[in-house]
Amino acid sequence: MRGVVRVECVPIMVIIRKPDEIEKIRESNLIVAEILNALKKEVRVGVTTKELDEYCEELTRKWGAKPAFKGYRGYPYALCTSINHEVVHGMPSHRRLKEGDILSLDFGVYYNGYYGDAAITVPVGEVSKEARRLIKVTEEALYRGIEEAKAGNRLGDISAAVQTHVESAGFSVVRDFVGHGIGSELHEDPQIPNFGTPGRGVLLREGMVLAIEPMVNAGSYRVKVLDDGWTVVTEDGSLSAHFEHSIAITPNGPDILSLKRK
Ligand code: MF3
Ligand code: CO
């Protein structure tokens, strides 16, 4: 017998940004892009994630920005560094990167009233073929999601595009963490799951600014949080990758704010 299903209405407030606000959010995101790019160049065998975090802070200061994550719900570092089976929110430490590791760098800033947020996953030295494929598929999934971020589509179109790409490659999307709106807060409505149904969810409109961030596991989608209260790892110990861009929905479609225009 089927029980009674109570559908709760959760009010959500998605902010529509004017072009001048979007340009300010772009500035913050371009700082994030520059810093992630600089950090990527420092990723090599023997470097500690703490050293990367310190360099990250130094660069953030030079740009005149504030690290967005430091102090956020008590998170103690500027950067999130998630190695191998760590999914997100890995904390910088004295652990040295070794050949074959994969490292996710997730970083955000607050600058001139607005937030920027982006993430990349990079190989340390030579990595396995499977690790390379995981990184590639995760980044592709991000772009599949971004392509769906246009006015008239629905949130579920983004989610489904990410999920379909990931699962057709034989990987899984993390369910317990999501992307988000971004602007004058680091996390704004709507939440953006990396799984879903096309045509469902919030109607996408020009002026929405979204941080889309697929977290992809090589094995099961199940994750757990370690006792440090932050580090999210795959339950089965399989590798995990993470990419994130902040984008604006414009009359010309999605505009990636955390990417330098060539
Ligand atoms: N990019 C992540 C997010 O959007 C980073 C948050 S980490 C925290 O949620 F430390 F700030 F919590
Ligand atoms: Co984010």
Q: Is the pLDDT of residue 262 over 70?
A: no
Ligand sitting nearest the alpha carbon of 246: 2
Instruction: Report the alpha-carbon distance of residue 51 to residue 35 in Å, rounded.
Output: 14
Query: Residues 37-46: what's their mean pLDDT?
Result: 98
Name which residue sits closest to atom 8 of ligand 1, judged by CA: 69
Ligand 1 atom index nearest CA of 118: 1
| Ligand 1 binding pocket mutation candidate from 69, 105, 120 (most atoms within 8 A of CB) | 69
Mean of the pLDDT values across residues 53-58? 98
Contact 230, 69 (CB under 8 A): no
74 vs 11, more confident: 74
Mutate to test the pocket of ligand 1, among 110, 186, 194, 225 (most ligand atoms within 8 A of CB): 186
Instruction: Report CA(128)–ligand 1 centroid distance (Å).
Output: 28
Distance from the alpha carbon of residue 89 to the mean position of ligand 1, in angstroms: 7
Over residues 55-76, the mean pLDDT reads 98
Ligand in nearest proximity to the CA of 88: 1
Question: Does residue 8 lie within any of the structural domains?
Answer: no
Q: Is 37 within the bounds of a domain?
A: yes
What is the position in ligand 1's atom list of the atom closest to the CA of 244?
Answer: 1
Residue 77 lies in a domain: yes
Q: Per-residue pLDDT tens for 66-105? A: 999 999 999 999 999 999 999 999 999 999 999 999 999 9
Q: Please say if the pLDDT value at position 165 is more than 60.
A: yes
pTM: 0.96
CA of 109 to the centre of ligand 2 (A): 11
> What's the domain count of the chain?
1
Q: What angle do CA 123, 95, 243 make, to 5 degrees?
A: 35
Taking the CA of residue 73 as reference, the ligand 1 atom at the shortest distance is: 12
Does residue 9 belong to any structural domain of this protein? no
CATH number at residue 251: 3.90.230.10
- Give 104: exposed, middle or buried? Use CB within 10 Å, 0-12, 13-18, 19+: buried
Nearest to residue 112, comparing CAs of 206, 13, 33, 20?
20
Determine, yes or no, domain membership for 111: yes
57 CA distance to ligand 1 centroid (A)? 16
Domain assignment present for 202: yes
Residue 42's SS3 state is helix
pLDDT at 6 over 90: no
Banded model confidence at residue 2, pLDDT cuts 50, 70, 90:
low
Task: Return mean pLDDT, the chain.
Answer: 97
Residue 104 forms part of a structural domain: yes
What is 43-111 written as a DSSP string?
--TT-BHHHHHHHHHHHHHHTT-EESSTTGGG---SEEEEETTEEE-PPP-SPBP-TT-EEEEEEEEEE
Centroid of ligand 2 to alpha carbon of 78 (angstroms): 13
Residue 1 has pLDDT above 80, yes or no: no
Ligand 1 binding pocket, CB closer than 6 Å: 69, 72-73, 75, 80, 89, 106, 108, 117, 119, 180, 211, 244
CB atoms under 10 Å from CB of 183, counted, come to 22
Distance 119 CA to ligand 2 centre (A): 8
User: Can you tell me the mean pLDDT for 222-248?
Assistant: 98
Mean pLDDT of 153-182: 98
Q: How confident is the model at residue 3 (pLDDT cuts 50, 70, 90)?
A: low
Indicate which atom in ligand 1 lies nearest the CA of residue 72: 11
Q: What are the tens digits of pLDDT across the range 13-37?
A: 999 999 999 999 999 999 999 999 9
- Give the model's pLDDT for residue 8: 74
Nearest CA to ligand 1 atom 6: 69
- Interval 101-154: pLDDT, tens: 999 999 999 999 999 999 999 999 999 999 999 999 999 999 999 999 999 999
Range of the domain at 46: 19-256
Provide the 8-state DSSP code for 12.
-
* Ligand 2 center from residue 213 Cα (angstroms): 6
Q: Is residue 3 part of a domain?
A: no
